[in-house]
């Protein structure tokens, strides 16, 4: 974190053959708050080290609050100059859907930006697969953001990805997903180049 009073959560660490260093994508709580404030104060920072065991030194913030549980892969991409990209998956995309960050430090920071309104849910029929059971109202196309760069310490751009046929419970809410949900994306690269994303959704979207 920024100082000894900072709190971090987890880390996704990769060895970069480009420069031989180890890079970590880490969830860090801003304003000296603890993990109790993760839903509003978590941001994703980039750090590096000469060893996988550390110590890691913070380079900069990649995704401001709200963003959490970063997971990064080195993914094949034939359109990239080096043939691959570093793809960062997170909970949240830097918009404060859950409210402004708390201030846990005696040194007050700048005022928080307005709260980002939640995107609308357009529920329709499930086109590819029907959810199990009878508690489902239909499906949505779920959008989420992937941050990517051709170098781990390069400039990260945003890409909007879609999940087709994400189930919606009859209560009217979809499973927790993407930018606003606690869906814990865990991407992995198959030897054939296919990228899979394992998620941890909540069954009823609460």
User: Can you spell out the DSSP letters for the chain?
Assistant: --STT-EEEEEEEEE-TTTS-EEEEEEEEGGG--GGGHHHHEEEEEEEESSTT---EEEEEEE-SS-EEEEEEEEE-TTSTTSEEEEEEEES-S--TT-PPP--SSS--SPPPPPPPPPPP--B--SS-PPSSS-EEEEEEEEEEEEEESSTTS--EEEEEEEEEEEEETTS-BPS-TTTS----EEEE-TTS-EEEE----TT--
Q: Collapse the DSSP code of 8 into the 3-class scheme (helix H, G, I; strand E, B; otherwise coil) and give the result.
A: strand
Please give the span between the terminal C-alpha atoms of the chain, in angstroms, as a whole number: 31
Say what the pLDDT of residue 205 is.
45
Closest CA to 82 of 15, 17, 160: 17
pLDDT < 50 stretches in the chain = 205-206
Residues 6+ apart with CB under 8 A from 171: 204, 205
CB 176 within 8 A of CB 182: yes
Residues 6+ apart with CB under 8 A from 33: 7, 41, 101, 102, 103, 104
Distance of alpha carbon 154 from alpha carbon 42, whole angstroms: 22
């Amino acid at each position: 974190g920024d100082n000894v009073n900072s709190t971090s959560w987890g880390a996704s660490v990769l060895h970069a053959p480009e420069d031989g260093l180890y890079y970590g994508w880490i969830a860090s709580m801003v304003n000296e708050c603890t993990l109790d404030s993760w839903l509003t104060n978590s941001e994703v920072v980039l750090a590096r080290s000469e060893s996988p065991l550390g110590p890691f030194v913070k380079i900069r913030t990649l995704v401001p609050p709200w963003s959490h549980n970063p997971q990064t892969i080195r993914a094949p991409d034939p359109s990239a100059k080096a043939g691959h990209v570093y793809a960062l998956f997170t909970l949240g995309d830097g918009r404060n859907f859950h409210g402004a960050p708390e201030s846990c430090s005696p040194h007050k920071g700048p005022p928080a930006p307005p709260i980002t309104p939640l995107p609308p849910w357009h529920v329709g029929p499930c086109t590819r697969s029907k959810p199990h059971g009878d508690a489902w109202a239909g499906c949505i196309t779920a959008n989420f953001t992937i941050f990517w760069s051709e170098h781990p310490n390069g400039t990260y751009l945003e890409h909007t990805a879609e999940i087709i046929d994400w189930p919606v419970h009859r209560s009217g809410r979809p499973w927790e997903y993407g930018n606003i949900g606690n869906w814990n994306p865990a991407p992995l690269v198959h030897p054939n180049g296919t990228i899979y994303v394992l998620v941890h959704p909540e069954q009823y979207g609460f």
